[in-house]
Structure 1
């Protein structure tokens, strides 16, 4: 991490009350009352609930992105259908004029008879040429009318289909929103049932667990030589993320006041001029993967087997992340959660990944 960026991080974390380095592990008090659940069991349950909530959040975010695209498609088709209907109105007007002219000229002598009776055959031939040209124009008018009617009907069917898709996505989004809220309610229910001593023990136990995983990862050499400089875009993305330290986590949020995990990473890279997918699953699926030993500041670290959490690598074994409900954007050890792998938003395209494979670790 560069000196300027390190100073920026220190300033932001001090202002937000965030601690960069892990504190010494605190002693974990044992449950006092008989029948009290072990702290390790409580932590497992709580982590499972948080992970379930985050997975539901990312699913909701993915549906939200699809819904945005579907709304844009509905708007596009509506605009095109409006233009087609205006064109159809003009074509029908032209066809109506054609019909009136044909009716008004229905008693006229045919061009063939007119040619036979003409005193000036050349003039009659010229007149016939004009009549032929008018006939072709009339045929083109009818053709345009038929074509415009077909196009209008096709667009109307496509618009109805797109609207049906939008309504389906909106219903799915509501269902997924309800699932997120239910999972978060389960988290709150568990936390409110704990005593202050249990909450203290829970926090200490979780920190001890993270410290242990961090030491194991760092001493294993999996991070390689951790002195790499960020790319220009990576530096901009990381600076943006650091400036958000201290802002609250909120599921489904993309800033500027609150963020969820992938809302932070996607906005950071968007501000760096490199738009990336909205969700952690899509970031893992579509961005170039890199081994952990090649991590440089600004890269994204993906967590959990289903890629349900993501953070920006800061350097020195740390990440900037929006952790979970009830917490704020902060600097954390890279091993805070089980690592799935890492991706580089400004790296090689997905098809050029070659043999670059993600390194994985487990807590």
Structure 2
């Protein structure tokens, strides 16, 4: 899938400057650009605090930031829904293909059984087939009992063969009919998923257009203010996590976790593209699933499935290689590096980067390798320890030239 056409250089710079919106603090569908949504108290880590007193102006920097956060939150929810449908579609296509092969084989066996049954029917009609009445009479009237017994055995064998042919015909017909129904159902589901994926693609693109429209009307001063508010909010949230002991010691990853970290760090600087799983671009769960795949451990594709199916661990027991999942709907995910840092693909318009863990409000964490022991003598890569965990440089060095889209 290709992205939207390039925009003017100013709009691209505007997108890059304001796409540093990791503290996506609002739940629910995207809010229209003309109305500032109310913040979700459960998901406000990293977002600028609302001052006491009268409600802020709808065009204030804080209100603009909340609006952009809501739009990106909605876009990411739509992205992960698209990813889940894409995975379902792939599985359904594979099942339909398998059922098609099995149905072809079943129909070939059924044709063979029908041919055998037809041959038996012709033999019976012509009087020369097994187990006819005349043959039974000849056995009963035979002068030689031993010869009669031999003939009787042959007749029973032939009758059993005929019965087996009829049974094989019936079973083959039932199997072919069942497989045909299953194949039809798989194709129907494939068509429904294809239509659903198209609707979800439209939803993502619509959310991103709303963001672009809002960004296009902002001045450079407004964009700089949004940057400062976001960085300050992320730094404050990170310090709060550290001060209350919510983040444990860095520790060491397993050997597989070390490989996942190395892979994730090698992707730093590559663009976010929704639905992408590399090697040239990633979305959030595309990065984490590929990191662990390259570490030799297959994990679910989407952030929701990673949260649902992988073992949970508390944040104060994190070890490098764990996955940190964000927001109440588990719509964002990052790879924990240690020292309070994650590597993540933040959102359209940005690139894969190392960030403070609290750049988004965490829901919890999961561990893809719960049974593996930490490696001994582990030395953290330089990218992890370059800044302290409470650094205010939340996502410094973000790409200002990347356009949102897919």
Shorter-normalised TM range: 0.7 to 0.9
Question: Would the aligned equivalents of 2:250 and 2:320 in 1 still touch at CA under 8 Å?
Answer: no
1:44 and 2:66 correspond: yes
Q: The residue matched to 2:333 in structure 1 has which SS?
A: strand
Deviation by residue 1:43-69 (Cα, 9 ceiling, x = unmatched): 000011011100110111111111111
State which of 166, 189, 193 in structure 2 corresponds to 1:169.
Answer: 193
Displacement of 1:115 in angstroms is 3.4
> d(CA) in 1 for partners of 2:214 and 2:184?
45
| 1:134 to 1:207, Cα distance in 2 relative to 1, 3 A | same
3-state SS of paired residue (1:146) = helix
TM-score, normalization by structure 2: 0.74
- Do the aligned partners of residues 132 and 312 (structure 1) sit closer, same or farther apart at CA in structure 2, a change above 3 Å counting? same
Per-residue CA deviation, residues 44-100 of structure 1 (Å, 9 max, x unaligned), is 000110111001101111111111111111111111111100000110111111112
1:280 aligns to 2:315 (yes or no):
no
SS at match of 2:301: coil
Match of 1:86 in 2: 108
Q: 1:123 to 1:192 in 2, by over 3 A?
A: same
Please say if 1:182 is aligned against 2:206. yes
**3-state SS in 2 of match to 1:255:** coil
Aligned to 2:96: 74
- CA distance in structure 2 between the aligned counterparts of 1:238 and 1:56, rounded to whole angstroms: 27
- For residue 192 of structure 1, report the CA deviation from its aligned partner: 1.2
Q: Does the alignment pair 1:65 with 2:60?
A: no
Q: Does 1:99 align with 2:128?
A: no
- Counterparts of 1:67 and 1:348 in 2: how far apart (Å)? 32
Gaps of 5+ in 1: 1-34, 350-363
Select 1:246's aligned residue among 262, 269, 286.
269
**Pairing of 1:114-263 with structure 2 (within 5 A):** 114-115=138-139, 117-224=141-248, 226-263=249-286
Alpha-carbon contact 1:292-1:341 (below 8 Å) kept = yes
CA RMSD, Structure 1 to Structure 2 (Å)? 1.8
User: Counterparts of 2:341 and 2:136 in 1: how far apart (Å)?
Assistant: 93
User: Aligned partners of 2:135 and 2:185: how far apart in 1?
Assistant: 50
Contiguous gaps of at least 5 residues in structure 2 = 1-56, 373-406
Between the two proteins, the alignment pairs up a number of residues equal to 314
Q: How far apart, in 2, do the equivalents of 1:187 and 1:109 lie? A: 86
Preserved CA contact (<8 Å) 1:111 1:128: no
Q: Which runs of 4+ in 1 moved over 6 A?
A: 106-109
Normalised TM-score (structure 1): 0.83
How much has 1:121 moved relative to structure 2? Answer: 3.7
Residues 185-235 of structure 1 deviation map (CA, whole Å, 9 limit, x = unaligned):
1111111121222112211221121122222222222113x2301111111
Deviation at residue 125 of structure 1 after TM alignment = 3.0
Contact residue 324 and residue 365 of structure 2 kept, 8 A: yes
* Cα distance change on mapping 1:121 and 1:175 into 2, 3 Å: same
Bigger helix share: 1
